[in-house]
Amino acid sequence: MDNYTMLTDFYEITMANGFFNEGYKDTVVYFDMFFRTVPDGGGFAIMAGVEEVIDYLKNLEFTKEDIDFLQKKNMFSEDFLDYLLTFKFSCDVWAIPEGTPIFPGEPILTVRGPAIQAQFIETMILLTVNFQTLIATKANRIVRAADGRAVMEFGARRAQGAYAAVFGARAAFIGGVGGTSNVLTDREFSVPALGTMAHSWVQMFDTEYEAFCAYARNYPDDTTLLIDTYNVLKSGLPNAIKTFDEVLKPMGKRPKGVRIDSGDITYLSKKCRRALDEAGYPDCKIVASNSLDEYIIRDMLVQGAKIDLFGVGERLITSKSNPVMGGVYKLVAIEKEDGTIEPKIKISENVSKITTPCFKQVYRLFDRDTNKAIADVITLHDEEIDADKPYELFDPVYTWKRKQVDNFYARPLLERIFENGKCVYKSPSAGELKTYCKAQLDTLWDELKRFENPHKYYVDLSQDLWQIKNDLLRSVTYADKDI
């Protein structure tokens, strides 16, 4: 990846200069990334983007050209600019692994390190994790709507830039799609690139039949024909079957599929399925594309569509129905020279914007008998949950709502990926992350996977963490404000 050091909000640099001049350069701080709401009103999101965060942090350095550019702003001290020229990333970073279901309010990435560094990387961390988590989450919704049928990501030409096309396809693969149309994503991340033809292929030849025959001769082991250039039932499908009979069959080959990209695809797929079966091609798949999403796919299947594979483009790669993942990055603690950690909190009249202080860990509790997730518990970083004893969960806002759980096991979710600026994490392949994601989704109850009004999954605080947060809230006074 290119060096994206200067891909940052300008105030990250002005604050860094201020921290340097005010003597906070080496003050150790803790930042958390978290989000407040799940896109599309869903029950959970899918963590993604960690691999690119790692790549970004490994390449974090200021060039002479960067310093010259900043110097021309006439805003920054020479000592600060000299510091940037010899800058070396030295933070510790923890993250929840890609492919893990995640929930509002819990830290999904934590940074500990010198204030200038930990603050400066905010923009790129949010850009990366927000976008890729958004797309992985959307992809998973679409895959679940397909109910076991294959889904392909076809959105490169509608993505909002090259970055979104490449990394969005990878995120979609982690979320569950079977492959992508994007060749660069295949080359970089081994996400299978697949595709057949465009309408222009058919139009190039004198007849549709000639176009199909030519394609079948070139790709006899992978013949999928686009049959809606002119008329699906009167032209495209009959010509496809004729091609299968006269070109593939003599070669001892079987067709892979036909693709429909327009019209009433549900109706057309039923007609095509019957005709293909009667022609002796029950193994020929029917592929559907054309501005699909989870809701359209669900309705098509309810109506009996005979679709084997869905190609989903613009509404996946842009998450059209909810195109923003609102993750934020907040200061939660400062480490004193003696090693003690002083919690920090942001107060707001909007209760959902009050932050949870301290250096933390997130535990996921699972039922031993069913292996289903019970709840997540946010604890202090050095707390351990003893699974050999009953554990009391309680709502951190409505504290009278309590539940005692036993016969469970607990798994910490935040894993260290950087130590003193060095990457200590071995990144799984995209394929391994996809398999991991599927396994983690199996730990969630089906009620949590509803598209509308999903079951609420609880993210609670440990008693010790809740007490610290509550004490900080109580200590705030509003001397200048009427209450």
- Whether residue 399 lies inside any domain: the answer is yes
Taking residue 301's Cβ as centre, other Cβ atoms within 10 Å add up to 17
- Whether residue 304 lies inside any domain: the answer is no
| Average pLDDT over every residue of 126-147 | 98
- Whether residue 447 lies inside any domain: the answer is yes
Q: Alpha-carbon dihedral of residues 71, 74, 76, 82, nearest 10 degrees?
A: 30
Taking residue 66's Cβ as centre, other Cβ atoms within 10 Å add up to 17
- Whether residue 363 lies inside any domain: the answer is yes
Q: State pLDDT tens for residues 18-33.
A: 999 999 999 999 999 9
Q: State pLDDT tens for residues 365-407.
A: 999 999 999 999 999 999 999 999 999 999 998 999 999 999 9
Q: Is the pLDDT of residue 483 over 60?
A: no
Helices (H) then strands (E): counts for the chain: 16, 21
| Average pLDDT over every residue of 26-48 | 97
- Rounded distance between C-alpha atoms, residue 198 and residue 217, angstroms: 17
Grouping H, G, I as helix, E, B as strand and the rest as coil, residue 361 is strand
Q: State pLDDT tens for residues 293-343.
A: 999 999 999 999 999 999 999 999 999 999 999 999 999 999 999 999 999
Q: Is the pLDDT of residue 38 over 80?
A: yes
Tokens 């934020």 found at? 328
Grade residue 477 by pLDDT with cuts at 50, 70 and 90: low
Structure token digits, residue 429: 């392949």
- Specify the length of the chain in residues: 483
- Whether residue 284 lies inside any domain: the answer is no
Q: What is the pLDDT of residue 199?
A: 97
H or E stretch at 464: helix 463-475
Q: Please tell me the total count of domains within the chain.
A: 1
Residue among 301, 241, 300, 242 at smallest CA distance from 274: 241
| Average pLDDT over every residue of 266-293 | 97
- Whether residue 53 lies inside any domain: the answer is yes
Arithmetic mean of pLDDT over the chain: 96
What are the φ/ψ torsions at residue 348 (nearest 5 degrees)? -150, 150
| Average pLDDT over every residue of 141-146 | 98
Q: What is the pLDDT of residue 445?
A: 97
CB 176 within 8 Å of CB 438: yes
- Rounded distance between C-alpha atoms, residue 22 and residue 414, angstroms: 32
Count CA within 13 A, CB hemisphere, residue 448: 20
Q: CATH number of the domain at 399, please.
A: 3.20.140.10
Q: What is the pLDDT of residue 3?
A: 82
Q: Is the pLDDT of residue 239 over 90?
A: yes
- Whether residue 242 lies inside any domain: the answer is no
Grade residue 476 by pLDDT with cuts at 50, 70 and 90: confident
Grade residue 479 by pLDDT with cuts at 50, 70 and 90: very low
Q: State pLDDT tens for residues 59-110.
A: 999 999 999 999 999 999 999 999 999 999 999 999 999 999 999 999 999 9
Please tell me whether the overall predicted TM-score, pTM, comes out greater than 0.85 for this model.
yes
Q: What is the pLDDT of residue 349?
A: 85
Q: What is the pLDDT of residue 435?
A: 98
Q: Is the pLDDT of residue 480 over 80?
A: no
Give the range of the structural domain holding residue 89, as residue numbers without chain letter: 10-135+323-475
Handedness of CA 458, 463, 464, 468 (dihedral sign): positive
Q: Is the pLDDT of residue 144 over 80?
A: yes
- Whether residue 282 lies inside any domain: the answer is no
Q: Order across the sheet with 415-419: list the strands.
A: 341-343, 328-335, 28-34, 109-114, 92-95, 415-419, 422-423
Q: Is the pLDDT of residue 443 over 90?
A: yes
CB 149 within 8 Å of CB 310: yes
Q: Is the pLDDT of residue 272 over 80?
A: yes
Q: What is the pLDDT of residue 481?
A: 52
* Of the listed ranges 188-192, 258-262, 396-400, the one predicted with least confidence: 396-400
Q: What is the pLDDT of residue 251?
A: 97
